[in-house]
Amino acid sequence: MVNSYRPKYLNEALKIRGEKNVIPLAGGTDLMVRFRNISGAIPKFDKPVLFIGHLDELKNIEIENNFVKIGSSTTLTSLLDSENIPSILKSAISNMAAPTIRNIGTIGGNICNASPAGDTLPPLYILDAKIVLSSIDNQRIIPIDKFIIGPGRNDLKDDELLTKILIPNKKFNKEFYKKLGTRKAMALSKISFAGLAEIEDDKIEDIRIAFGAVAPKIVRSRTIEQEIIGHNINEINELSYSIVKEYSEFICPIDDQRSSSIYRKQISIKLLDYFLNNLDNI
Amino acid sequence: MNEKISESIVRVDAHTKIGGQTKYVGDMKFDGMLYAKTVRSLHPRAKILSIDIPDIPDGYFIVDKNDVPGKNRVKILIYDQPFFAEGAVNYIGEPILLVVGPDRDIISQIISQIDIEYEPLPAVLTIEDALLENSPRIYGQDNCFVSHEYIKGEPDDAFANADKIIDGEYRTGYQEQLYIEPQGVIGIYENHRMTIYGSMQCPYYAHRAIAEGLGWSEDKVRVIQTTTGGAFGGKEEYPSLLSGQVAFASLKTKKPVKLVFDRDEDIQTTTKRHPSVIHHRTALDSNGTIIAADIDIKFDAGAYAGLSDVVLQRGMFCASGVYNIPNLRVRGRAVATNTVPNGAFRGFGAPQAFFAMDMQIEKIARIIGINSLDFRLKHALKKGDRTCTDGLLRHDVKIPEMMSRIEELSDIRDKIKKFKSQTGRIRKGIGLSMFYHGCGFTGNGEEIIHGTATLRKYPDSKVEILTSNVEMGQGALTAMRKIVAKSLEIPIEDVIYENPDTSRVPDSGPTVASRTTVIVGGLLKSAADELKQRWNEPGEIEVSKTYHHPKYIEWNQETMHGDAYPTYSWGINVVEVEVDTLTYEITPKKVWAIFDVGVPIDERMMRGQIEGGIVQGLGYGSIEVMENIGGKIQQGTITDYTIPTAKDVPEIVSEMLDNPYEYGPFGAKCSGELTLIGAAPALAAAVENALEIEINKIPVRPEELLEKMEL
Question: What is the DSSP track for B612-679?
Answer: HHHHHHHHHHTT----EETTEESS-STTTS----GGG--EEEEEE-----TTSGGG----TTHHHHTH
Which of A140, A168, A196 delimits the end of a domain?
A: A168
Question: How many structural domains is chain B composed of?
Answer: 3
Question: How many structural domains is chain A composed of?
Answer: 2
Of the candidates B260, B623, B706, which has its C-beta nearest A266's C-beta?
B706
Query: What is the Cα–Cα distance from B293 to B330, expressed in whole angstroms?
Result: 8
Query: What pLDDT score does B3 carry?
Result: 65
Q: Are residues A72 and A43 part of one domain?
A: yes
The strand pair at B426-438 and B568-580 is best described as antiparallel
Does position A270 have pLDDT exceeding 80, yes or no?
A: yes
User: pLDDT tens digits for B332-367?
Assistant: 999 999 999 999 999 999 999 999 999 999 999 999
Residue B237, domain member (yes or no): yes
Residue B145, domain member (yes or no): no
Q: Are residues B505 and B387 part of one domain?
A: no
Which of A151, A168, A185 delimits the end of a domain?
A: A168
B314: left (phi over 0), alpha (psi -120 to 50) or beta: alpha
Q: Return the sign of the alpha-carbon dihedral for residues A103, A104, A106, A110.
A: negative
Q: Are residues A230 and A100 part of one domain?
A: no
SS3 B595: strand
Q: Are residues A188 and A118 part of one domain?
A: no
Of the candidates B105, B645, B710, which has its C-beta nearest A41's C-beta?
B105
Query: What is the Cα–Cα distance from B477 to B676, expressed in whole angstroms?
Result: 22
User: pLDDT tens digits for B395-446?
Assistant: 999 999 999 999 999 999 999 999 998 999 999 999 999 999 999 999 989 9
Residue numbers of B between 230 and 269 with CB closer than 8 Å to A: 260-262
Residue B267, domain member (yes or no): no
Cβ distance of A183 and B703 shorter than 8 Å? no
Q: Are residues A42 and A158 part of one domain?
A: yes
Query: What is the Cα–Cα distance from A162 to A146, expressed in whole angstroms?
Result: 14
Q: Are residues B541 and B517 part of one domain?
A: yes
User: pLDDT tens digits for A20-78?
Assistant: 999 999 999 999 999 999 988 889 999 999 999 999 999 999 999 899 999 999 999 99
Cβ distance of A182 and B623 shorter than 8 Å? yes
Helix axes B308-316, B350-368, angle to 10 degrees: 30
- Whole-angstrom CA distances from B131 to A96, B73, B271, B687 are 44, 26, 22, 32
Q: Return the sign of the alpha-carbon dihedral for residues B456, B457, B458, B463.
A: positive
Q: Are residues A157 and A56 part of one domain?
A: yes
Residue B268, domain member (yes or no): no
Which of B546, B570, B602 delimits the end of a domain?
A: B546
- Is residue B589 within 8 Å of residue B650, measured between CB atoms? yes
Q: Are residues B230 and B106 part of one domain?
A: yes
pLDDT band at B31 (very low <50, low <70, confident <90, very high): very high
B27 inside 8 A of chain A by CB: no
Inter-chain contacts counted by CB atoms under 8 A, chains A and B: 79
Q: Looking at beta carbons, which residues of chain A come within 8 Å of B107?
A: 38, 41
Of the candidates A39, A98, A258, which has its C-beta nearest B640's C-beta?
A258
Cβ distance of B104 and A178 shorter than 8 Å? no
Residue A62, domain member (yes or no): yes
Q: Looking at beta carbons, which residues of chain A come within 8 Å of B627?
A: 257
Cβ distance of B108 and A39 shorter than 8 Å? no
Query: What pLDDT score does A125 carry?
Result: 98
CATH of the domain at B40: 3.90.1170.50
Of chain B, the percentage scoring pLDDT greater than 90 comes to: 99
Cβ distance of B647 and A274 shorter than 8 Å? no
User: pLDDT tens digits for B507-554?
Assistant: 999 999 999 999 999 999 999 999 999 999 999 999 999 999 999 999
Q: Are residues B343 and B205 part of one domain?
A: no
Q: Is the peptide bond before A48 cis (omega within 30 degrees of 0)?
A: no
Q: Look up residue A40 and give its amino acid.
A: G
Query: What is the Cα–Cα distance from B387 to B201, expressed in whole angstroms?
Result: 30
Q: Are residues A187 and A66 part of one domain?
A: no
Cβ distance of A41 and B108 shorter than 8 Å? yes
Q: Are residues A65 and A140 part of one domain?
A: yes
CATH of the domain at A260: 3.30.390.50
User: pLDDT tens digits for B469-508?
Assistant: 999 999 999 999 999 999 999 999 999 999 999 999 999 9
Query: What is the Cα–Cα distance from B199 to B181, expressed in whole angstroms?
Result: 8
Query: What pLDDT score does B73 carry?
Result: 98
User: pLDDT tens digits for B373-403?
Assistant: 999 999 999 999 999 999 999 999 999 999 9
Question: What is the maximal distance between C-alpha atoms in chain A?
Answer: 65
Cβ distance of B703 and A184 shorter than 8 Å? no
- Three-state SS annotation for A171-215: CCCEEEEEEEECCCCCCCEEEEEEEEEEEECCEEEEEEEEEECCC
Residue numbers of B between 585 and 604 with CB closer than 8 Å to A: 585, 587
Residue B8, domain member (yes or no): no
Q: Look up residue B388 and give its amino acid.
A: C
CATH of the domain at B623: 3.30.365.10
Q: Are residues B340 and B298 part of one domain?
A: yes
B107 inside 8 A of chain A by CB: yes
Which of A110, A145, A168 delimits the end of a domain?
A: A168
Provide the shortest C-alpha distance from residue B582 to chain A (in Å): 7
Quote the domain boundaries for residue A110: 4-168
The strand pair at B651-656 and B585-596 is best described as parallel
Statement: the pTM of the whole predicted model exceeds 0.90? yes
The neighbouring-strand residues paired with A42 are: none
Cβ distance of B623 and A40 shorter than 8 Å? no
Provide the shortest C-alpha distance from residue A63 to chain B (in Å): 34
- Is residue A111 within 8 Å of residue A165, measured between CB atoms? yes
Task: Name residues whose C-beta falls within 8 Å of residue B415's C-beta, 6 or more positions apart in sequence.
Answer: B428, B430, B576
Query: What is the Cα–Cα distance from B232 to B615, expressed in whole angstroms?
Result: 13
Task: Name residues whose C-beta falls within 8 Å of residue B130's C-beta, 6 or more positions apart in sequence.
Answer: B124, B138, B143, B144, B335, B336, B337
**Closest-approach residue (CA) in chain A for B585:** A180
Give the mean pLDDT of B227-239: 98
Q: Are residues B437 and B326 part of one domain?
A: yes
Rg (CA), chain A: 19
pLDDT band at B2 (very low <50, low <70, confident <90, very high): very low
Does position B1 have pLDDT exceeding 90, yes or no?
A: no
Residue A84, domain member (yes or no): yes
Q: Are residues B494 and B385 part of one domain?
A: no
Quote the domain boundaries for residue B681: 276-442+560-710
Does position A1 have pLDDT exceeding 70, yes or no?
A: no
Residue A282, domain member (yes or no): no
Q: Are residues A138 and A229 part of one domain?
A: no
Residue B9, domain member (yes or no): no
Q: Are residues A125 and A36 part of one domain?
A: yes
Residue B5, domain member (yes or no): no
Within 10 angstroms of residue B443's Cβ, the number of other Cβ atoms is 21
Q: Are residues B247 and B307 part of one domain?
A: no
Q: What is the mean pLDDT of chain B?
A: 97
Q: Are residues A64 and A131 part of one domain?
A: yes
Q: Are residues B251 and B359 part of one domain?
A: no
Task: Name residues whose C-beta falls within 8 Å of residue A70's C-beta, 6 or more positions apart in sequence.
Answer: A60, A61, A79, A85, A107, A164, A165, A166, A167
Q: Are residues A25 and A155 part of one domain?
A: yes
Residue B427, domain member (yes or no): yes
Query: What is the Cα–Cα distance from B300 to B335, expressed in whole angstroms?
Result: 5
Q: Are residues A207 and A155 part of one domain?
A: no
The strand pair at B697-698 and B164-172 is best described as parallel
